[in-house]
């Protein structure tokens, strides 16, 4: 029974499911914006949207309409061509229906009854084919009804704070060989204030969209001649990425990680040993060389296992910490590709730690501390989520329980509150997911810490213990940023392209007022490059004001104006974009300040 959303009946608060099953509706509905309440509100709103679509497009047939992290959606098909401009029409119809206050009722029927009821509807037949069992729920409101297990709100009148957000295409059941359906996304809340706040966030997100800013700032590009989901890093984007790598590498060296590198393709036989062939094959690319099948790596773990196996190991060697900025490839469906956030080729800030079972807690604690320092450097709030064994997995229950308990102990000993995602672990082990919150309140899945006792067993990894007997190490998979591509996308939107000085792709733009100051500007640029600062000279044959405006469009932290006076006095007129101030510095003061700003952050 839920205490968050429910129906008052004879001074008793009933949960929605119970009230619907007993056909009881009382005086009051209690709900808010808790995750439990929003799931029911948004699920009900999905059906409201489908009802509106059915009224507007009578030939429409519906597949599924689930609640997802970004709200809800419905997949459907119709002979009519639906465009973005039609979303407002559908939304208006939804409001009309909601005001009519249709009761939302549930009927339970057998498979045979449901098959008969939806005979002739191939999409409903496809839905039922995926469901096991003989009991089906059918929810009805007005003339609209659809298969659903619920629960829903009791009446459409309770839906008043919603908005349709986007239109997309989706393959039936996610199968690229199947027909393309129309998908409409929407969002819903318990109150207008929360909806308005979300709409404002969407508007701000549009301004910060990394795809738009990446193009404007010359960070990265995509080219259809090369292929979808394969980013091209332009010089400024590569400089930004390299700076993050440099900061990370320094921190890894201090923490005694060793650099390694595995091959890009490995024989399929090792992917069969690892379990990827059986559990992850649909996400991999394969090729054949000399009649032998190879898999392009979707992860770096097997290569690092081979590094471990390259030498005999003793308990004195452990823990061993290997890291690699490893390029991996995953077969993402075209419909989910999204700028740098979802690509087919990306580089992980990957590391694997091989340790003794007694060392797990300390190693995970060290990773948690490392994570804290990185997230604080970029101004991110973050939370951690413990993900447990999924249905599709390998290994014994005892191994999974031991690994899960080790993660729990590390989180709790560090005083970290965490949520549990039951069944959300990797197929080979439980994990901690790192979820960050950006400057406008959006949450992003970022890094992960995974405990793995299954791959060491499958590859027969060993070390000699204190008694000179063989023992099996534990393998910890960890990526704090997740991937450089995704992290750069998140950073770009977090800062709105206004990167802090220590990672900015261009840190200083020098603007000589006339040709006479160009040599002086070029000398300063060279000196800046020598101390590790990226600088450009803007000397196009344009007015000073236009050059300043163009420099500001690049969102550089600092612009230095050099005129006759500045050249004579060996000074620079500084426009500091971050502090929104203007001041003058001599050369020595300027270079000292730049060196401090470059080094102001470390992990």
Catalytic pick among 163, 330, 389, 547: 330
Sequence-separated (6 or more) residues with CB below 8 Å from residue 113: 136
- Which tokens sit at 112? 């045979």
**Given the residues 348, 359, 517, 554, the one annotated as active site:** 348
Structure tokens at 72: 């809800």
Active-site residue, 381 included: no
Burial (0-12, 13-18, 19+ Cβ within 10 Å), 416: middle
Q: With left for phi above 0 and alpha for psi between -120 and 50, is residue 453 left, alpha or beta?
A: alpha
Is 8 within 8 Å of 30 (Cβ atoms)? yes
Strand pairing category for 220-221 and 232-233 = antiparallel
Phi, psi of 51 (to 5 degrees): -65, -40
Give the 3-state secondary structure of 320-353. Answer: EEEEEEEEEECCCCHHHCECCCECCEEEEEEEEE
- The residues that bridge with 510 in the sheet, in sequence order, are 537, 560
The total number of residues written for the chain in this structure: 603
350 in active site: yes
The answer to whether residue 392 is catalytic is no
C-alpha 53, offset from chain centre: 31
Q: Which residues make Cβ contacts (< 8 Å) with residue 359, sequence separation at least 6? A: 318, 319, 474
- Name the DSSP class of 290: T
356 is catalytic: no
Chain position carrying tokens 């990370």: 248
Residue 234's CB: how many other CB atoms inside 10 A? 17
Give how far Cα 26 sits from Cα of 5, 11, 105, Å. 13, 9, 15
Question: Whose CA is closest to 31, among 18, 42, 20, 21?
Answer: 42
SS3 content of the chain, % helix, strand, coil (to 5): 40, 30, 35
- Residue 330 annotated as catalytic: yes
Q: Cα-flanking dihedrals φ and ψ of residue 522, to 5°?
A: -65, -35
For residue 259, count CB atoms less than 10 angstroms from its CB and return exposed for 0-12, middle for 13-18, buried for 19 or more: exposed
Active-site residue identified among 54, 208, 304, 477? 477
DSSP type of residue 472: P
Q: Reduce the DSSP state of residue 59 to 3 states and report it.
A: coil
Question: Greatest CA separation found in the chain?
Answer: 92
- Give the Cβ contact number of residue 520 at 10 Å: 18
Say whether 348 is catalytic: yes
Verify whether residue 177 is a known catalytic residue: no
Is 386 exposed, middle or buried (CB count within 10 Å of its CB: 0-12, 13-18, 19+)?
buried
Question: Which 8-state DSSP code applies to residue 228?
Answer: T
From the candidates 431, 494, 555, 597, give the one annotated as an active-site residue: 431
Enumerate the active-site residues: 301, 330, 348, 350, 352, 431, 477
């Amino acid at each position: 029974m839920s205490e968050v959303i429910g129906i008052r009946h004879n001074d008793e608060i009933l949960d929605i499911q119970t009230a619907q099953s007993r056909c009881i509706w009382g005086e009051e509905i209690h709900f808010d914006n808790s995750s439990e309440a929003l799931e029911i509100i948004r699920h009900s709103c999905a059906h409201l949207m489908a009802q509106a679509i059915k009224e507007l497009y009578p030939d429409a047939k519906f597949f599924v309409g689930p609640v997802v992290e970004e709200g809800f959606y419905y997949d459907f098909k119709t002979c009519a061509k639906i465009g973005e401009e039609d979303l407002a029409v559908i939304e208006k119809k939804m409001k009309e229906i909601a005001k009519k206050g249709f009761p939302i009722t549930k009927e339970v029927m057998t498979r045979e009854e449901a098959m008969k009821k939806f005979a002739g509807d191939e999409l409903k037949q496809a839905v039922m084919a995926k469901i096991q069992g003989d009991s089906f729920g059918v929810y009805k409101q007005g003339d609209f009804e659809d298969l659903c297990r619920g629960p829903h709100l009791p009446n459409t009148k309770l839906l008043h704070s919603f908005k349709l957000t986007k239109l997309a295409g989706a393959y039936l059941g996610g199968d690229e060989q199947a027909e393309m359906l129309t998908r409409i996304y929407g969002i819903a809340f318990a109150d207008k204030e929360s909806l308005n706040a979300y709409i404002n966030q969407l508007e701000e997100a549009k301004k910060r969209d990394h795809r738009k800013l990446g193009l404007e700032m010359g960070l990265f590009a995509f080219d259809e001649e090369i292929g979808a989901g394969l980013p091209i890093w332009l010089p400024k984007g590569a400089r930004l990425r390299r700076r993050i790598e440099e900061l990370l590498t320094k921190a890894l060296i201090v923490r005694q990680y060793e650099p390694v590198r595995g091959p890009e393709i490995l024989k399929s036989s090792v992917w069969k040993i690892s379990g990827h062939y059986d559990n992850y094959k649909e996400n991999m690319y394969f090729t054949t060389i000399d009649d032998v099948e190879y898999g392009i790596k979707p992860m770096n773990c097997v290569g690092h296992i081979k590094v471990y196996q390259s030498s005999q190991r003793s308990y004195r060697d452990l823990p061993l910490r290997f890291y690699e900025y490893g390029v991996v490839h995953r077969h993402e469906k075209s419909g989910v590709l999204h700028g740098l956030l979802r690509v087919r080729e990306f580089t992980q800030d990957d590391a694997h730690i091989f340790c003794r079972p007694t060392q797990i807690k300390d190693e995970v604690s060290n990773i948690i501390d490392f994570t804290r320092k990185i997230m604080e450097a970029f101004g991110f709030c973050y939370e951690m989520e413990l993900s447990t064994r999924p249905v599709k997995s390998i290994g014994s229950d005892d191994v999974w329980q031991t690994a899960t308990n080790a993660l729990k102990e590390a989180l709790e000993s560090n005083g970290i509150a965490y949520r549990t995602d039951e069944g959300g672990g990797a197929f080979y082990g439980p994990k901690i997911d790192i979820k960050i919150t950006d400057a406008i309140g959006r949450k992003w899945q970022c890094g992960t810490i995974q405990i793995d006792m299954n791959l060491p067993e499958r590859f027969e990894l060993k070390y000699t213990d204190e008694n000179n007997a063989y023992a099996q190490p534990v393998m910890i998979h960890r990526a704090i940023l997740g991937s450089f591509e995704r992290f750069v996308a998140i950073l770009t939107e977090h800062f709105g392209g206004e990167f802090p000085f220590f990672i900015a792709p261009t840190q200083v733009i020098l603007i000589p007022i006339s040709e006479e100051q160009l040599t002086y500007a070029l000398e300063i640029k060279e000196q800046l490059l020598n101390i590790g600062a990226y600088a450009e000279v803007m000397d196009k044959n344009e007015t000073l004001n236009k050059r300043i405006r163009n420099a500001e469009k690049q969102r550089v932290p600092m612009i230095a104006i050099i005129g006759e006076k500045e050249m004579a006095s060996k000074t620079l007129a500084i426009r500091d974009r971050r502090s929104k101030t203007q001041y003058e510095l001599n050369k020595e003061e300027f270079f000292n300040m730049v060196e401090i700003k470059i080094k102001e952050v470390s992990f």
